């Protein structure tokens, strides 16, 4: 019998490339709404996630939705995408489900929706509480929105 090394925990990263505004420091792949139909993108991403997860022997232990700004998606788009993810894997076996959020697109109703969908961690991109730094970075939120979020 051969001793096999332990299988590492896998991560499923889903990139949501949509932003209301493109921050000058960001080098990630992104689109502003309207440049790409969000609904079609979500359909394609959900199908891709289902197929990829089905074809791997070891299922992801962590799911991370980054971007872009995943929190800017509508509740309908989020429900559709997470519906695909729930079809592809058992969320009860996951260690973590993270979603990146921008304070300008995050509030209590979004927090409740994220929880309902199975998100266990929100990565809140505050960047700074200094107004001049936020302006330089081209951020949509102000210090008050950051504190409230």
Top-confidence residue, 12 or 36: 12
Going from N- to C-terminal start, the domains of the chain cover 11-148
Whether the pLDDT of residue 111 is over 90: the answer is: yes
pLDDT at residue 42, as a whole number: 96
**How would you write 20-86 as a 3-class SS string?**
CCCCCCCCCCCECECCECHHHHHHHHHHHHHHHHHHCCCCCCEEEEEECCHHHCCHHHHHHHHHHHH
Q: What is the DSSP pairing of strand 62-67 with strand 96-101?
A: parallel
Q: Work out the average pLDDT over 45-72.
A: 92
Question: What CATH number does the domain located at 11-148 have?
Answer: 3.30.750
pTM above 0.85, yes or no: no
46: pLDDT strictly greater than 80: yes
pLDDT band at 7 (very low <50, low <70, confident <90, very high): low
More confident residue, 131 or 52: 52
Q: With 0-12 CB in 10 A as exposed, 13-18 as middle and 19+ as buried, what is 132?
A: exposed
Q: Where is mean pLDDT largest: 57-61, 88-92, 122-126? A: 88-92
Separation between Cα atoms, residue 64 and residue 87, nearest integer Å: 17
Specify the pLDDT at position 23: 65
């Amino acid at each position: 019998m051969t001793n096999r090394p332990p299988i590492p925990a896998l991560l499923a990263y889903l990139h949501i490339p949509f932003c209301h505004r493109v921050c000058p420091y960001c080098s990630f792949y992104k689109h502003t709404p309207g440049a790409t139909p969000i609904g079609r993108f979500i359909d394609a991403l959900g199908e891709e996630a289902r197929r990829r997860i089905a074809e791997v022997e070891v299922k992801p232990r962590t799911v991370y939705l980054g971007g872009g700004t995943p929190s800017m998606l509508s509740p309908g788009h989020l429900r559709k995408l997470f519906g695909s993810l729930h079809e592809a894997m058992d969320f009860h076996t996951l260690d973590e489900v993270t979603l990146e959020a921008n304070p300008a697109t995050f509030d209590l109703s979004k927090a409740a929706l994220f929880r309902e969908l199975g998100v266990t961690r929100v990565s809140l991109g505050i960047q700074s509480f200094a107004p001049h730094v936020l302006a330089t970075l081209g951020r949509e939120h102000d210090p008050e929105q950051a504190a409230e979020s």
